[in-house]
Amino acid sequence: MTAQIIDGKAFAATIRDKVAGHVARLKADHDIVPGLAVVLVGEDPASQVYVRSKGKQTVEVGMQSFEHKLDVNTSEANLLALVERLNGDPAVHGILVQLPLPKHLDEDLVINAIDPAKDVDGFHISNVGLLSTGQKSMVPCTPLGCLMMLRDFHGSLSGMDAVVIGRSNIVGKPMAQLLLGDSCTVTIAHSRTRDIADVVRRADIVVAAVGRPEMVPGDWIKPGATVIDVGINRIDAPEKGEGKTRLVGDVDFASASRVAGAITPVPGGVGPMTIACLLANTVTACCRANGLDEPEGLTA
């Protein structure tokens, strides 16, 4: 069997088109322009790329982008003061603090200082609680993107066996909540899970989010299963030349794609959906803030 490739890059483009349509209607009907503020502390090269891409895509769909770049040594008080200012700014409907933060800053403290209604990352403890109790919340972008791809591919997910590999707060746990919300039978596997290969082999849906390059081999995958690979790992690629690198996922794509029914590639799978869902969350936050109907198909 050769798996069907789920093209996240193409799907993300359709999400951005929908977002752009909603943004245009908000402007035409209500004279409202959604605004997204992105805060970057320090100069981590990958974070700089992601933040630049977020700003560019925000403007491309017609929204306002506010970029705040702080020195790597910025104090917690300084960062919290900025968040407070953005909380009170009516032009800002979404706030995102790019992670990871430098070690001297307390990520939980900073995230929980964001107004939950503007928390377009869905990381604030209030949104975590709302999601886990099945209430309306802001939903973390990467798991939301995975859910959208799964719904698009399968239609209903009801009754399917899903295994999420990884228990992080930003992907594994919210992913499990979303799959549960769509009536999957959900298992979270992690580094201490016994007989993990057998656990994964039971799954109709596998979401791999561990951050370990090519950890999941094809013989862990049930024939015909759908595999969503969240991992983005840069590894050495001597075959491309001295000092060269390449991106791989948490799944061994070559062997898994011979067994799975469908699989997301890395790059070009989940990654592009993360930023598309950030734009979708910003429109959602803007509509909620203004008491307007939420865009359909852009939320969980």
Ligand X SMILES: Nc1nc2c(c(=O)[nH]1)N[C@@H](CN(C=O)c1ccc(C(=O)N[C@@H](CCC(=O)O)C(=O)O)cc1)CN2
Tell me which residues are annotated as active site. Answer: 54, 98, 121
User: What is the pattern of x (binds ligand X, CB under 6 A) and - over residues 19-58?
Assistant: -------------------------------x--------
Kindly state whether residue 232 participates in binding ligand X, applying the rule CB under 6 A: yes
- Could you tell me which stretch among 79-87, 223-231, 237-245, 266-274 binds ligand X (CB under 6 A)? 266-274
Among positions 113-152, residues that touch ligand X (CB under 6 A) are: 121, 141-142
Kindly state whether residue 180 participates in binding ligand X, applying the rule CB under 6 A: no
Kindly state whether residue 274 participates in binding ligand X, applying the rule CB under 6 A: yes
Identify which of residues 202 and 267 has a Cβ nearer to ligand X in the complex.
267
Say whether 268 counts as a known binding-site residue: no
User: Quick one: which of 58, 98, 281, 284 contacts ligand X (CB under 6 A)?
Assistant: 98
Residue of minimal Cβ distance to ligand X: 271
Asked if 251 and 287 count as a contact pair (C-beta separation under 8 A), the reply is no
Identify which of residues 215 and 232 has a Cβ nearer to ligand X in the complex.
232
Kindly state whether residue 285 participates in binding ligand X, applying the rule CB under 6 A: no
Which residues belong to the annotated binding site for NADP(+)? 166-168, 232
- The footprint of ligand X (CB under 6 A) covers 50, 96-99, 121, 141-142, 232, 247, 266-268, 271-272, 274-275
